Structure 1
Amino acid sequence: MCGVVAIFHHDHLFDIDKNTVEQMNKSQTHRGPDGNGSYIANGIALAHTRLAIIDLEGGEQPLFDQTNTVGITYNGEIYNYKALRNELIALGYKFNTNSDTEVIVNAWLEWHTQCVEKLNGMFAFVLFDKNTKQMFAARDRLGIKPLHWAKTPDNQIVFASEIKALKKHLQIPLNINLKSIEDYMSLGYILEPKSIYLAINKLLPGHYILLDQNSPELFINKAYWDLKDHITSNTKNYNIDDVHAHLSQTVQDRMMADVPLGAFLSGGLDSSAIVAFMSQLSAEPIITSSIGFDLSKYDESFFAEKVSQHFKTKHSTTNVSVNDLSMVDLVVNTFDEPFADNSAIPTLILSKVTREKVKVALSGDGSDELFFGYRNYQMLNFEEKLRSIFVNKLTKPIFTLLAQHYPKLDKAPRFLRAKSTFKALASDPITSFYNAMSLSDKNTLDKLYSYQFKSQLAGYSALNQFKSLAEEVNNLSPVKQVQYIDFKTYLPGDILTKVDRASMACSLEVRVPFLDYKLVEWGLGLNEKLNLKGQQVKKVLANSLKGLLPNFVLERKKMGFTSPLDEWIRQIPQATLEKRILSKPLVSLNIFNINELKATIEAHQARTINNGVLIWALLVLASFLKKEQN
């Protein structure tokens, strides 16, 4: 994997500062420690840091085609590049390397902007065509690889893999986007295409940008692939053998490498399936890594060990105990903006230990979105059944009253914890889903936010963004609507961002077989009822893996990859937490009601309520704002 930097100016006489390009490129060395290069001429800059995976000798970048017409800086892997290479050779194109990079530049020469439709893989790249004077930037369909961009006051369009590189370009203003703060406090991440900065954007998954020096006003930001074209609620007949074969092929495609590779292994269904297919396809034992926690409630390492023994992998487990605040700053430095998913910590640690053994790892990410593996899908499906039976104009006010007055019994037996169910039944399905996904309920955030901040938001909310997305597919069932929302928000904004930044911070490439776009297109056509049956989830996937995976994997309940955050935070003194959170940079923004912040911390430390996730988010935000002032 690699780091991408590019700059475009419509004036071919514009003098791009070489030192700025070098500093931007250097800031992403962790993404590509094996080499670097740059091209600067005629109002154009392309720069690159390389993590050599394929064609170790011949894949240096920026790379130009044989005619020296098209240059590219590229981050990713194109899994069908050999077939495309043969197709292009048949069309008369010649190649100097065996890399997938050179396939992209020749594909551009042949198919222009439609070249991205030919690519199957994970990618973010920027190329420049000297003949047409056009710059073309593209991101893969699901958003596995990142690409950020910004426009400077003197009309430079600047691209980079990470925000830290854009911050090295001193002409990019760094004013905070308050709407992004609302996203972050609601969800723990920032909804794309926004970043924490007003001037810095994220190219959306499945989109490209086209710029042209011959037409200075031209700025095309366009989708070349969209989920809406594939997601349906129709009941699709499926063949279990076809699912099995497709998964096997996607894993085989992602085992393409000229360096050692392995896999993340939690012992759950998804990672175990990846390891099972890899074991079938490899003559050598697979190298696997897992994380264990100091609190057994969160520890899956026992299951990972059992799966490892079953498939005879070369396995290692790293135990994690984090009860200090040093990891907060590490998260901020890694992600460049507030990011509150606490599983970033074990992912960073897992990536580091995995990189000591291999350069490429496969993971099971994307399966839960595709096959309805999250508990939220199961709960919404259950709520919809209850709504159809009990909720009408007469009963809805009753559920509203029950939601308001029924006590929150976190420590009671599950059958007595009905407050969230009453609240869900009093809401529409999308609001219920939002409440399940958010760091804290909307009422808590309303109390936390200052009057000034709410006025500045002018009605903007992450919930309304969810509702807008649901409207795009309002012909679908509520459960399919939230699947669509997850693919548009949580998957690229949280899951894939976490895996990319954490792994690339350690110079490790992570590949995600479940997000092969052809598999995703097929899976989006499945009716949710095929995967959600009673207490079971991911039935289509589980059925396709019978005979491949041992029963203890197929039958165990999903735990989820997270950390024991509530207890870790309670090991930190309340005074220390308040000092970190109520720092001058955070307080000076006038976002929060300070008394409510203190009450949130106090209630958590007193074990009145579990506010660990919210407190963690506040710690990360305070650390980010403090770093901004330094």
Structure 2
Amino acid sequence: MCGIAGIFHLDTPKPVDPARVRTMIDAIAHRGPDGEGIWTAPGVGLGHRRLSIIDLAGGDQPMMSADGRLVVVFNGEIYNYRELRVDLERWGAEFRTHSDTEVILHGWRRWGADCLDRFTGMFAFALFDAEQQSLFLARDRLGVKPLFYTELSDGAVLFGSELKALLAHPRLRRAPDLSAVEDFLGLGYVPDDACMVAGVKKLPAGHHLTLRRRHPLPQPRRWWDVVFTADAKGSVRDLEVQLADHMRRAVRSRMVADVPLGAFLSGGVDSSSVVALMAEASRTAVETCSIGFDVPDLDETAHARLVAERFATHHREWIVSPDDFGLIDTLVGAFDEPFADASALPTYRVCELAREKVTVALSGDGADEALAGYRRHRFFVAENRARALFSTQMRERVFGALGRAYPKADWAPRPLRAKTTFQALARSPEEAYARAMGFTSPEMRARLFTPEAMQALGGHRAEARIEQAMREAPAADWLGRAQYADLKIWLPGDILTKVDRTSMAVGLEAREPLLDHGLVQFQASLPMAMRLRGGQGKWLMKHAMRSYLPEEILHRTKMGFVTPIAQWFRGPLAGEAERIARGAALAATGWFRPDELARVAHEHRSGRSDHGRLLWQLLMLDKSLTRLFGV
């Protein structure tokens, strides 16, 4: 795992100052504390920060081919590099190292851009081809590893693993993009097709981009997609065996490392499954760690401890408390763009805890998206059954009226909060699901924004990309369409961004075996009833893991990595809510109404409404704007 950055001149191959490249990689030094490297040639400069994982002695970067034609900088891991190396050696390639990086060089020489189809792993890399005078940028299938890029006014293209690498270049103009603020408020993160800094882009997951001398900056090209075919054949037992085999291979392939390795263990079925399969493959005790909370209803450490005892792991725990709120400035610095998922705080802590013992940690991320494990999936399927009973006109008239008339009751037990359900039934499936994936409603955003900001947005809506993804999804059923949107938007924008930034901030490599692309595609081929049955998500996975995990782990209510921010803003963090009410950087932008900011803070402190998530979101936006633009 590493950090990469560089410069490529599209027009005249001007000299690249190595000091500029060094400044860019110094900004992401946390991603690679074990070493650095810089290479420049006319019109191109590549930089690398290394976290040594494989071939500790021989994997230094930038890495050049023996004939000097190719140079690569690479962030990630190619898990099947050994098998590819054998194939390439038969073809005639001569290797000088034992690293997976060199497989990229020889793979490009043999297959060109088609080498990506052969790589199993997480990666973002830049490869300069002197013969073609081109720079090839690529990102892994599901977006585990990030890659930012932008074009400057002089025709130079900058790229880097994090936004801060680009911001380190003195010629990058910092101007905020209001549409990205709308996206952040609507979704809780800035998605991959947007950036808070105007003009900066993110290479989408499963895409590559080829920069050529004397050619304009092109659009990225998709090289991989997931298809929800729902056409897998076989008995439940046959599919269980196949799923378990896929999971087993994925976990074992991600246990290859020349440094200490462990796992995050929340006590949920996903991380518990990963730990179970690691224990099965390991001759020594697996290192595991968990995060708990000082709010009993949100604490999962007892379940994690149960799994740790079952598989005799070396287990450690950390309890997150309001004192950990001091991490917010650290998180803002780690993410660059505002990030409202408050589970970033405990994720950072669990990464810190893991790094005390290991350099690589396996996580359970990915199963909820691929196997319909979120509560919103269950609700969505149930709502669609209800939609099928009524015409569109009838739904809009009846449920629309009920949604407007029914009181909003955040304080009530969940079954009594019918207003949201009525409103969802009045909408199309994609509109309803886009809202379910959202963070702050369009109505609330309209209240927070000034009329001038709303006019400047010109109708741009955060949810529109989700609706479009669902309409265009290669899926055989509506659940598959929803999962496709999860995998394309939510997963890279929220989940994988969170894990990448928090793990890299402490020099830890996080690996996600449940996002193995072969496993994901197999899961997408399962009939809907194998993904979601009887109101239970991840149905087949839970059946497949029965011989490994106890019933109380397999079938307990999903809790998720929840942070008790609502309680914190009414207690030890009430002062921060008051600061938001006074506006700070948010009011200075001219985008937000100070009276509405104050109202949100007051309603939460008084207990009239639960605005904990919104307050956290506004606080993160306030601090990010100050850090990025000096607002």
1:464 deviation in Å? 1.6
More deviation in 620-629 or 575-584?
Answer: 575-584
Gaps of 5+ in 1: none
Cα distance in structure 2, aligned partners of 1:629 and 1:104: 38
Match of 2:63 in 1: 63
Cα distance in structure 1, aligned partners of 2:41 and 2:514: 40
Task: Call closer, same or farther: CA 1:109–1:235 in 2, change over 3 Å.
Answer: closer
1:320 deviation in Å? 0.5
Q: Which amino acid aligns with 1:209?
A: L
1:182 deviation in Å? 0.7
Q: Which amino acid aligns with 2:222?
A: A
Aligned residue runs from structure 1 range 32-181, under 5 A:
32-181=32-181
Q: What CA deviation, in whole Å up to 9, does each residue of 1:445-478 have, x standing for no partner?
A: 2211211111111111012221111221286432
CA contact (8 A) 1:391 1:425 kept: no
Match of 2:228 in 1: 231
1:550 deviation in Å? 1.8
Match of 1:320 in 2: 320
Cα distance in structure 1, aligned partners of 2:594 and 2:231: 50
CA contact (8 A) 1:323 1:571 kept: no
Q: What CA deviation, in whole Å up to 9, does each residue of 1:37-59 have, x standing for no partner?
A: 10011111011000000000000
CA contact (8 A) 1:574 1:602 kept: no
Cα distance in structure 2, aligned partners of 1:458 and 1:27: 35
More deviation in 397-406 or 154-163?
Answer: 397-406
More deviation in 597-606 or 465-474?
Answer: 465-474
Cα distance in structure 1, aligned partners of 2:459 and 2:392: 28
1:573 deviation in Å? 6.0
Task: Call closer, same or farther: CA 1:296–1:63 in 2, change over 3 Å.
Answer: same
1:305 corresponds to 2:324:
no
Q: What CA deviation, in whole Å up to 9, does each residue of 1:319-345 have, x standing for no partner?
A: 010257533322210100111010000
Cα distance in structure 1, aligned partners of 2:279 and 2:285: 7
Match of 1:402 in 2: 402
Task: Call closer, same or farther: CA 1:598–1:60 in 2, change over 3 Å.
Answer: same
Task: Call closer, same or farther: CA 1:322–1:253 in 2, change over 3 Å.
Answer: same
Q: What CA deviation, in whole Å up to 9, does each residue of 1:581-600 have, x standing for no partner?
A: 64443212222222111111
Cα distance in structure 1, aligned partners of 2:269 and 2:411: 29
Q: What CA deviation, in whole Å up to 9, does each residue of 1:283-321 have, x standing for no partner?
A: 000000000100011110110000000000000010010
CA contact (8 A) 2:568 2:574 kept: no
More deviation in 102-111 or 531-540?
Answer: 531-540
1:502 deviation in Å? 0.3
CA contact (8 A) 1:125 1:139 kept: yes
Task: Call closer, same or farther: CA 1:629–1:181 in 2, change over 3 Å.
Answer: closer
Task: Call closer, same or farther: CA 1:11–1:628 in 2, change over 3 Å.
Answer: closer
1:548 alignment partner, SS class: coil
More deviation in 131-140 or 257-266?
Answer: 131-140
Match of 2:31 in 1: 31
Match of 2:442 in 1: 442
Match of 1:351 in 2: 351
Cα distance in structure 2, aligned partners of 1:587 and 1:604: 19
Match of 1:554 in 2: 554
Cα distance in structure 1, aligned partners of 2:488 and 2:435: 17
Task: Call closer, same or farther: CA 1:325–1:306 in 2, change over 3 Å.
Answer: closer
CA contact (8 A) 1:474 1:481 kept: yes
CA contact (8 A) 1:4 1:161 kept: yes
Match of 1:594 in 2: 594
Gaps of 5+ in 2: none
Q: Which amino acid aligns with 2:225?
A: D
CA contact (8 A) 1:324 1:572 kept: no
Q: What CA deviation, in whole Å up to 9, does each residue of 1:77-118 have, x standing for no partner?
A: 001101111111111110110000001011111111111111
Task: Call closer, same or farther: CA 1:150–1:477 in 2, change over 3 Å.
Answer: same
Cα distance in structure 1, aligned partners of 2:618 and 2:397: 34
Aligned residue runs from structure 1 range 414-563, under 5 A:
414-473=414-473, 476-563=476-563
Q: CA RMSD in A?
A: 1.7
2:393 alignment partner, SS class: coil
Q: Which amino acid aligns with 2:224?
A: W
2:317 alignment partner, SS class: strand
Q: Which amino acid aligns with 2:538?
A: K
1:394 alignment partner, SS class: helix
Cα distance in structure 1, aligned partners of 2:258 and 2:576: 48
Q: What CA deviation, in whole Å up to 9, does each residue of 1:544-589 have, x standing for no partner?
A: 1111212221121211112111101112465542324644432122
Q: Which amino acid aligns with 1:533?
A: R
More deviation in 61-70 or 275-284?
Answer: 61-70
Match of 1:295 in 2: 295
Aligned length: 627
Q: What CA deviation, in whole Å up to 9, does each residue of 1:349-385 have, x standing for no partner?
A: 1101100000000000000001100000001011112
CA contact (8 A) 2:10 2:157 kept: no
More deviation in 115-124 or 401-410?
Answer: 401-410
Aligned residue runs from structure 1 range 174-193, under 5 A:
174-193=174-193
Cα distance in structure 1, aligned partners of 2:163 and 2:31: 13
Cα distance in structure 1, aligned partners of 2:210 and 2:275: 40
Q: Which amino acid aligns with 2:26?
A: K
TM-score by length of 1: 0.97
Match of 2:371 in 1: 371
Cα distance in structure 1, aligned partners of 2:322 and 2:487: 31
Q: What CA deviation, in whole Å up to 9, does each residue of 1:148-169 have, x standing for no partner?
A: 0011111111110000110001
CA contact (8 A) 1:78 1:123 kept: yes
1:170 deviation in Å? 1.2
Cα distance in structure 1, aligned partners of 2:367 and 2:475: 24
1:404 deviation in Å? 1.2
Aligned residue runs from structure 1 range 604-619, under 5 A:
604-619=604-619
Task: Call closer, same or farther: CA 1:582–1:41 in 2, change over 3 Å.
Answer: farther
Match of 1:16 in 2: 16
Cα distance in structure 1, aligned partners of 2:575 and 2:277: 50
More deviation in 556-565 or 416-425?
Answer: 416-425
Q: Which amino acid aligns with 1:618?
A: L
Match of 1:216 in 2: 215
Q: Which amino acid aligns with 1:529?
A: A
CA contact (8 A) 2:180 2:194 kept: yes
1:404 alignment partner, SS class: helix
1:442 deviation in Å? 2.0
Cα distance in structure 1, aligned partners of 2:624 and 2:581: 11
Task: Call closer, same or farther: CA 1:619–1:218 in 2, change over 3 Å.
Answer: closer
Task: Call closer, same or farther: CA 1:541–1:40 in 2, change over 3 Å.
Answer: same
CA contact (8 A) 2:267 2:304 kept: yes
Cα distance in structure 2, aligned partners of 1:373 and 1:130: 47
Cα distance in structure 2, aligned partners of 1:574 and 1:318: 24
1:389 deviation in Å? 2.9
Q: Which amino acid aligns with 1:412?
A: A
CA contact (8 A) 1:603 1:609 kept: yes
CA contact (8 A) 2:581 2:594 kept: no
1:207 corresponds to 2:224:
no
Q: What CA deviation, in whole Å up to 9, does each residue of 1:43-76 have, x standing for no partner?
A: 1101100000000000000011222221111000
CA contact (8 A) 1:149 1:200 kept: yes
1:276 corresponds to 2:267:
no
1:393 alignment partner, SS class: helix
CA contact (8 A) 1:172 1:199 kept: no
Q: Which amino acid aligns with 1:70?
A: L
Cα distance in structure 2, aligned partners of 1:413 and 1:497: 32
1:624 deviation in Å? 1.1
Cα distance in structure 2, aligned partners of 1:149 and 1:392: 43
Match of 1:565 in 2: 565
1:489 alignment partner, SS class: helix
2:138 alignment partner, SS class: strand
